[in-house]
A and B are shown apart, each in its own frame.
Chain A
């Protein structure tokens, strides 16, 4: 097992390098970050030149990539433009944990992301908990009552949920729970932001503002999860050991929740494990609609200004999370199912 984990981690390294190269190439046409620097004041052409050299933007793409990856503190760069490299570089590079500084606000990338990450995480973790619990309930129910009216109704509703773009469900729920409720004089939910600036960032405020985004995210992903749970439960319920458990007179609840669910949970673990890291940034659109200050909004704001270090930082963080969670999923899988052995 230990060897397997190490093996998998070693395989992850070239994969991540490869991803970073693809992304870096794709970033090269994002626009000119220097063009929007300096705000309203017109920046002198010579200053722009100097800025470009300072940021290393005058270098060819592969050099920029090497600086990003391995830093430039081992080399001299030419900042004053006389053709003689004289300034010692200061970047350490991603390999040594330095993701660079944001071109927009000169803050370290990890700090910029770190400010937003918790906001996305609370949204995502809350949604994921609701999704899993709800999908388990609905999925098990419709598996036990296969082809009943309720099962068919649930299946149809799940298809609708699965087919909805998240912004549409968000717009509808905002319209119903904020606009219509307000019009009818009912207590209505807030639609934008994380807290009311007048009230301050209290737990209650954040929870209150979380309701609609969490509802929208849950309704979308809920569909595929419960369909999945339904089909794995159906498969397990037809197994011989379930018939045995029933035949020896075990209470139905015990058969369903202990004998069946335990075995059906294996594939569910896979889906959850593979989905979790995607949630990190999966809420780009949701965060945009609800003006939630998370990573998705950060990504959109910074890609508009061609802030390469931050964009690369976010994407690489997600890629690393995907690799790590895939490994965790495999390990949990082997732990849940003793038949699985990773020998290689």
Chain B
């Protein structure tokens, strides 16, 4: 955040010198960030693994059709991994490999969409609280605090019950999903915005004292524009980091809630609901829970690596974990 607010005058000074007199050409903020990020080995590992996982989930649908993933072949139930079914078959004879592919699409989509909602709520609440201060601030922060006082898993369960029930299927990109996907995205977004709101609020509290905000106000810029055009872009770094890590948390949250049977309802597969009831087959069919579980861990791990690298690259001063 300090970089971007000071960069205009920094580049102005450099621009006085002719380009060929400089030992090295000046690097833009993006180039600097990319350079710091590239040096972070674990973050690069995370980025590559993540690309592979996306290829697996979305490219895999070129090999297997969705009807194959949902095709039940009861005589073949609980077959161990074989050439025909590399990850084995589940309790009603569906191919686990194909289901991890289609489940992966849903899990990743849920992760991304939930973070979108989380960011909408978190940024709005944090920005309004930090910018306006006073009564609005204390009201919004009390709400945030109240939400933080209940462990997330309980909130998720209670909200899953609140929004649950009979839901119609939804069509999205020409495919039909269980309506519970929408509900899960919504409740994960609704239960995870609190930390982000606090981060954004802290950013706004310090940034709004800057001269450029006063200048904007003096020229009659509207509050809306000051918030979204002037202050928000300057607090992007921590938001990007938190959003990245948020995807990992959202995927984990989906896994937890689906594992408890309150998440996405079958036949739509997700990595989480493939694990529902897996502990009944702990001994007899370990492939049922091993592969989806492994994919969850890999995804969350690479996103966490990526987020860690992004934090080091974008925001070198704020290292906390």
Contact = CB atoms under 8 A, between A and B. Distances in A.
Interface of A: 14-15, 18-19, 22-23, 26-31, 156, 159-160, 162-165, 167-168, 171-172, 174-175, 178-179, 191, 224, 227-228, 231, 278, 281-282, 284-285, 288-289, 299-300, 303, 311, 315, 318-319, 322-323
Interface in B267-297: 275, 278-279, 282-283, 286, 289-290, 293-294, 296-297
B38 interface: no
B259 to A, nearest CB: 5
B153 A23 contact: no
B310 to A, nearest CB: 14
Interface of B: 42, 142-143, 145-147, 149-151, 153-154, 157-159, 161-163, 165, 248, 252, 255-256, 259-260, 275, 278-279, 282-283, 286, 289-290, 293-294, 296-297, 300-301, 304-305, 308, 319-321
B161 A282 contact: no
A179 B282 contact: yes
13 contacts: A19-B149, A26-B162, A30-B161, A156-B42, A159-B42, A159-B305, A167-B256, A168-B275, A168-B289, A171-B278, A284-B260, A300-B157, A315-B154
A315 B150 contact: yes
B297 A14 contact: no
- By secondary structure, the B interface counts as helix
User: Which 10 A-B residue pairs are closest in the complex by CB-CB distance?
Assistant: A168-B293, A163-B301, A163-B300, A29-B162, A19-B146, A322-B149, A179-B283, A30-B161, A26-B162, A319-B149
B305 A285 contact: no
Contact of B150 (A19, A27, A162, A231): A19
Contacts of A228: 321
Contacts of A231: 319-321
B41 to A, nearest CB: 9
Given A168-B296, A171-B282, A299-B157, 16 more contacts: A15-B146, A18-B146, A19-B146, A31-B161, A159-B42, A160-B301, A162-B304, A163-B297, A164-B300, A175-B283, A179-B283, A191-B282, A278-B151, A299-B154, A303-B161, A318-B150
Contacts of B293: 165, 167-168, 171-172
A145 to B, nearest CB: 18
B158 A303 contact: yes
Of the candidates A15, A281, A284, A323, the one having the most CB atoms from chain B within 10 angstroms of its own CB is: A284
A167 B290 CA distance: 11
A303 B143 CA distance: 24
Given A165-B293, A175-B286, A15 B145 contact: yes
A209 B119 CA distance: 42
A18 B154 CA distance: 17
B297 A23 contact: no
B296 A285 contact: no
Of the candidates B154, B163, B286, the one having the most CB atoms from chain A within 10 angstroms of its own CB is: B154
